[in-house]
Structure 1
Amino acid sequence: MAEPTPSSRGTDLGDLLRRLRRRADLSQRELAARAGVPQPAVARIESGRAPDPRYRTVERLVRAAGGRMRVDVEPSAAEQPTAPEQPTAPEQPTAPEQPTAPVPHDDMRDRAGRRYPAHLDVWEVHEPRDWPGAWWAEWYSLPARLYPLPLPPATYRLNRDYRDERREREAVRQSVTVRRVTGPTVPATAWRFVAELRDGELIGELRAHEESPHLRWGDGERAEEREAVLDGVLVLARYRRLGIGRRLVQTLLEALGPVRVRALTEQPGISFLHACGFGIEASRPAAMRFEASVSGARPRRW
C-alpha cells in the first residue's frame, strides 16, 4: 500500500511516522535499528524538531516501517495541453488510498508534556485499579490523600503479550454475537442462547426452562403466572469479564418479557447475577446441602 509522502498536501511527517510505527508494532528504538538511523533522529522527526530531514533518512524510516515512498511531479503550465486534440473517454474514478489509522492516544501527554509511545495501548487513569503500578491498591482501600504515589494521567504496559491479549479481548468484545438456538433438541418450554465469534467459535452459552409455580406450590390461583428458571451461564475462561455473560442474560430477559426469572447460585454467581439486575428474595426458603463425610465423622448439614 502506498503511503502519502511529505508534500504540498500538508502531510505531517511526524504524525505519519507514528502511525506507521503503530501499524508495524515498532518502538522508536526498533524502527531506528531497522532503518540504520539514530534513535534521537526518529524522536526529533516525530516531535517536529527536525522540520527538514533528509529525503534518504525519511525513505529509510518509511520503508523500515512497512511503508512506501512516492513522489508526484506536476506538469508545468507549458506542458499542459490547452485543448484536447480529440474527444477522450471520461476518466474512471479511482479508489482513494487507504489512509494509515491514526494513533488513538496521540493527543494525550504525560506530566512532562511528552507523547506516550505510539505502538502501545494507553488508557487514562481515574483510580488506582486503572494503574498497573498501583500494586498497593490490590490490598488496601485508601482515600486519595493517603495514596503512597500520585496517580499518573494515563498509563500503559510494556509487556507485549499482555498488550496483544488485551487487544484480542477487545476485538472479541466488539465482534461477539448472541443468538437463540431452536430446533428439536430444545423443548418448547426452554431457552438456549449462545455467544459466538465471527468464525462460529462458541465461547458462551445460557440455558433456562419454564416452570409453573402452581405445580410446585399447589396454588390454583397462581396458575396464570409463568416463571423461568436460569439453569446456567457459561463463558470460556479467557473471555470472561468482557460482559458476554451479561449480554446472554439480557437477551434472555428481553425474550421472556414479563416472565419472572429465578436462579439458585453460590459465589461468585451471586455477584454476577446481582450485576445483571437480580436481587435476593427473602421469602424463598434457604437452600440446604447435605454432604457425606469422607473421614468417617458425622455428616454436616447447613
Structure 2
Amino acid sequence: MKDHHQGEGDTGHPNIVPPLPTLPRVTVDTIPGVVRRVRRCADMSQRELAKDTGVAASTIARIEAGTLVPSFRVLMKLLAPARFALALVDEDGRIMQPMRVWDETLDGGNKKFPAHLDVILDPEDPDDWWGSCFGLARPPETYHRSRGYRDAKRALSQWEVRVKQFRNARRPRDPGPPPHAGR
C-alpha cells in the first residue's frame, strides 16, 4: 500500500526531488480538495479538524462541498494540523520570498517606498554617496516608472559620480529625456 504522503513520481529517496512538469495551482475550485487532503494527511474527521482548529464543523463541511470559499486566515488554520504551508512560487517552481521592510527602506515620513521601484540604499562608506556632502536629494532617475529608462539613467549617473570606480569603464549611453507616460 502506498503512503498517502507520497504522490505519483516520488522517488522514495529524501534527497532526490523529482522534477515538476507543471505546478498544481490552487484555485477556488480546488480548495475543497485541499481541505480534504489536509484531513486525509492529518487523519482527522471534520469534527476533529473543527475542534483542533477552532473552525466550525459546518464551515468545514461547506468548504469541502464547494459552497464556501474560506478566508486566507481560515485556510491557514485548516492547513496547520497536517503541517502544510502555502508557498509562493514562480512559474519555474522557485520559492519567492516576501519583501522585507527594514528602517533603511522607509522614507522620511516612515512610509515604504513603492514596491515596483528599485530602492538604492546608501552605502556604508559615507564617501561613496556623493549627495550627502552637498545635502543633495537622491538622484531623480530613482523615481522614473520606466525600468529601462531608470536603469540607463542610473548607470550613467553612477559612471559620472563614481569616477574613480568607473575610471576605465566606457561611458554609458545617455537615454535622453524620459518617456512620456501618455496619461
Shorter-chain TM range is: 0.3 to 0.5
Q: TM-score of the superposition, structure 1-length normalised? A: 0.22
Please tell me whether Structure 1 or Structure 2 has the larger radius of gyration of its CA atoms. 1
Higher helix fraction: Structure 1 or Structure 2? 2
Q: TM-score of the superposition, structure 2-length normalised? A: 0.34
Higher strand fraction: Structure 1 or Structure 2? 1
